[in-house]
Amino acid sequence: MTKLSVFFTLFLFQALSFASHGHCKAEDDEVAVKQYELQKGNLKLGFTNYGATLNSVTFPDRHGKLADISLGFDNPEDYKNDTVYFGNIVGRVANRIGGAGFKLNGTYYKLPANDHNNTLHGGPKGFSDVVWKVTELVQTSKQAHITFSYDSFDGEEGFPGDLSVTVTYMILKHNILAIRMSATPLTKATPVNLAYHGYWNLGGHDSGTILNHTIHIISHSYTPVDDQLIPTGQFAMVKGTPYDFTTRPRQIGSRIDEVEGGYDINYVIARKIGPLEPHLEKTAVVRDEASGRKMELWTNQPGVQFYTGGVTYNKYAGLCLETQGFPDAVNHPNNFPSQVVEPGHTYVHVMVFRFTAA
């Protein structure tokens, strides 16, 4: 994908949020947990409105054999008991907030802790654990996209202000998945850091581990963490460490034994890019030699969390590449990009995945 086509994708997503389409379906005010599908060419996507979740991504290997390359549940009701965020949209603030609290505009906001003494992925009942409304569903020969919306109220999980949130998943061409997350504060300034928490296994969700997958993360530094995975506020270079997937692509399992518990770290993609700026950067490339599948990722966010955990499937059954603002940025205002969005401004987070097989 050229830089020009990446910008065109972003333009499409910005236009999408203001345009209306003739071939659409919207839900009524009473929202139940449901399943949805989109398909274009050989790329087929499955969704549930519980957590605005992308719960299946089906794409062929080099021989044309189809497989679901994302991890998740077949029954949407199972997401109500999910503890690993399979394919969910997480927020209001993804990743960790140290000490389960932060200060903003002179007020200290205490949040519920759900990860030791910290707040993870928006709290015990974040955006991954609410039922979203489908405001648009378009499936034609030329267009395939679905938009979820959620109205977060002032004080929800301790966060300030009402927040209007939308997420659109869109298939471009026959092999590109674009995700646009946006949020507009209505009454108060608030931190916003939405993330798509998808788990990938390019061999197929039931094919074994991802340790033989090759990954290239386009980043030269990461944000070190303490023993509770809270960033110290510093930056460290990846070169020569087990976190170095930049100098050359290598297998995920090649040095994973040197990292306690597997990978769970935020990489710095581009220090100067923030959540309100439109420029997209190529972030990572993942390959599975056995199937021939390759996944490329672009984003407009400053960081990406590389995670190889999860307990529902076998250990190392999937990998996450969660583009995001930096973890605990609200408590590091002097050296991490700000996640605070003022009323009248809109947070925009774009991810673009391209799938191929060769």
Binding residues: 95-96, 197-199, 264
Sorted by sequence, the CB contacts under 8 Å of residue 110 that are 6+ apart come out as 100, 101, 158
Burial track 108-123 (b if 16+ CB lie within 10 A, e otherwise): ebebebbbeebbbbbb
How many other CB atoms are found less than 10 A from the CB of residue 84? 17
Catalytic residue among 156, 157, 296, 322: 322
Chain position carrying tokens 């509770």: 228
Provide the annotated binding site for beta-D-galactose: 95-96, 197-199, 264
In the chain, which ranges are continuous DSSP H helix? 3-16
Q: How many CB atoms lie within 10 A of CB 224?
A: 14
- C-alpha 215: how far from its chain's center? 17
Number of Cβ atoms within 10 Å of the Cβ of 329: 27
Alpha-carbon distance of 119 to 115, in angstroms, equals 6
How many CB atoms lie under 10 A from the CB of residue 64?
Answer: 8
Question: Which residues are CB-neighbours of 354 under 8 A, at least 6 positions away?
Answer: 1, 175, 176, 295, 296
d(CA 231, CA 234): 7
Active site residue 322: yes
What is the C-alpha to C-alpha distance for residues 191 and 183, in angstroms, rounded to an integer? 10
Contact at 8 Å (CB) between 48 and 33?
Answer: yes
Residue 63 annotated in active site: no
What is the maximal distance between C-alpha atoms in the chain?
A: 59
Question: Terminus-to-terminus CA distance in the chain, angstroms?
Answer: 16
Q: Residues 121, 136, 145, 197: which is the catalytic one? A: 197
- Amino acid at residue number 326: F
- Which of the residues are catalytic? 197, 322
